[in-house]
Structure 1
Amino acid sequence: MSLETLTSVPTLGVIYAKAALPSLPGPSGSAAPGELPDRSLRLTGHTVDRHDLLQYERICGFNNSDVLPHTYPHVVGFPLQMQLMSHKDFPLPLMGLVHVENVITVHREVRFDEELEITVTAQNLRAHPKGTVVDLVTEVDVAGERVWDGRSTYLARGRGDAEATRGEQPPSIPTGAAAAKWSLPADLGRTYGFASGDINPIHMSAPTAKAMGFPRAIAHGMWTYARTLAAIGPVTSGPGTSHVWFKKPVLLPGKVDLVIDKDDRDGSVVAGLRNSRTPATEHLVLTLS
């Protein structure tokens, strides 16, 4: 496995712009069709801008803190994921990939002023009933210590394999009264997009989302993930593992209900977001342990 070292965070706007251009022949030595490139990307010497962190915390509902929220290292590693997937030798088209699942493990609290080393690798390209899926694995180290890791699963829709496994399935969404009701504004995609750097057109406005096949802009899945964790409470900043399954997208503007089921015996949590007007429409299911 070759390793490409970066000294600055890739610019997502440039990556999206290049991904929108017609594909060109791959470079010499590129992966064969259906194979993942034998390459990892590593960002070294990165420290988090405290202003950016506080803005993220505010938008996602976390308390202001110098400790990185559970989901924040994903924000730093996401541009490396995108750069890896946008390369000509990546076997799936970047535009149109759907983020369907995410697992995060926080091994210890991480402060904004710690120097991070972030490594991203594509793994486990496989068939899915609705197309092809791939995992982007992100690992965060501080002074040689693994402090955080995450696995993002993306689906490329297409001819699938009805016999393919879907992997671990989510628990049922909790039932009963909502723990909270949120009204999400039309500009939420832009607000979170500018804070996180993820300016995918499907989130930024109704016209750009319509060009990608959506009736209106949709909320970022990672915002719904982070907002749900923030509502669970400060416990999510400490060591633990969360697993989220993204289901139906949240159209903006929109209204969602948060539902939570906590197990007092071991502190584990199952949470979900459902549509306020049509509760049968589920947006995500999340476990935390």
Structure 2
Amino acid sequence: MTRHAALLLLLASTSFSADAAPIPEVVEAMLRDASADELATVEKLAKRAAPDSAKEIAALAKEIRTTRAEAKAERIASQGFFDGWAGEGAIGGSLSSGNTDELGVSASLNLDKRTTRWEHDIRLSFDYLETNGTVRRERIYSGYTGRFDLSGDAFFSFGLLSFERDRFSGIEYRFTESLGLGYRLADSDDLSWTVEGGPALRQTGFTDQEDENRLDLLGRTDVEWKPSSTVTLSQGAGFVLSTGNSSLYSKSAATAKLAGNLSARMSFDVLHETDPPDGRESTDTITRASLVYGF
């Protein structure tokens, strides 16, 4: 519980006079001091603490949101290309010894920037697993997605460039380029949900068979939900459909704030190839426990 919520619950136990329509000063101060994540909760508790000022509290909360949105829009409009980036770095690992000596490392870096019309999204990740001196997994991924709003905040066009390498799945390299359209089903501080799709070019170099160049169909969706100010749940899923080998993936994660910018995350990935090279499994799964630093 935040200090704002605790104090407001204390105030709620104290009755205000029936003619006290103006917002109590301490309640107004808490509303103005609340962060974007806290404002909805503080507003709700403020109405309980001062029910005779409920309409005034709702109006003030709306004014605060509008003022902050306008200030954010002005700040974004004046940014240069290298300004306004936010992101997170995550690292996780495992180490065991005895009957089985195992070393596992995972690391990722995500960068995001959103302007009045553009959204830039950069993803880098690395997974490595060694068991008894033998490498079992070594996967590298890097990708960029640019989105341009076409109609308000709902429809957008996108462009995607990505590179991946997973030799233990038989892929020496794979480049993917895609252009398409998308739609924002939800776009708020608490919930974001996008769907997008379009044609995709893929150039794949296999470790033990002929290389492929194909025109495929790409589709994906990403959902992020914040049920509270300290917990974030996310789910991403997508596919690249092909007349040959098709690829499907699912990425699920739960992130909880620990202190400041530091969080803990549990995630589960599923990677599936419908027609993998001979001798390879069609499905890989990766479970991670990571520390995440946001900036």
Give the TM-score normalised by the residue count of structure 2: 0.27
Q: Which has the higher strand share?
A: 2
TM-score normalised by the chain length of structure 1: 0.28
**CA radius of gyration, larger in:** 2
Flag the structure with more relative contact order, 1 or 2, with Cα contacts below 8 A and sequence separation at least 6.
Answer: 1
